[in-house]
């Protein structure tokens, strides 16, 4: 197996793991954040605007982790920086 094939296989496997883990754990975290926010809203309905605003900011930050993992996966598949090194040889 030549080095280009090895890099292609490693890139595809890494992109799969990155996408899988990068989507799974933020989803669990978002579920836990929403459950905690609903619990807080049930205990203190007067603070709903503050809790909701903080929840949405937190969800956006959690979701950005999944987006970064997706971007890394797309870079590994379509714009792999190791290809230029192999092609130059």
Report residue 59 CA to chain centroid gap. 12
- Positions in the chain short of pLDDT 70: none
Measured CA to CA, the distance from residue 71 to residue 77 in angstroms comes to 10
- Strand (E) or helix (H) holding 83: helix 81-88
Superfamily of domain 3-88: F1F0 ATP synthase subunit C (1.20.20.10)
Q: Identify the pLDDT of residue 85.
A: 77
Q: Identify the pLDDT of residue 27.
A: 94
Domain boundaries, the chain: 3-88
> What are the Cα distances from residue 72, in Å, to 11, 17, 22?
10, 11, 10
pLDDT tens per residue across span 54-65: 999 999 999 999
Q: Identify the pLDDT of residue 2.
A: 83
């Amino acid at each position: 197996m030549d080095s280009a094939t090895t890099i292609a296989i490693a890139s595809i496997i890494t992109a799969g793991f990155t996408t899988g883990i990068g989507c799974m754990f933020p989803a669990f975290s978002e579920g836990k954040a929403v459950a905690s926010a609903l619990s807080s809203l049930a205990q203190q309905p007067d603070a709903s605007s503050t809790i909701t605003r903080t929840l949405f900011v937190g969800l956006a930050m959690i979701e950005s982790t999944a987006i970064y993992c997706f971007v890394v996966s797309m870079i590994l598949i379509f714009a792999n920086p190791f290809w230029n090194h192999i092609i130059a040889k």
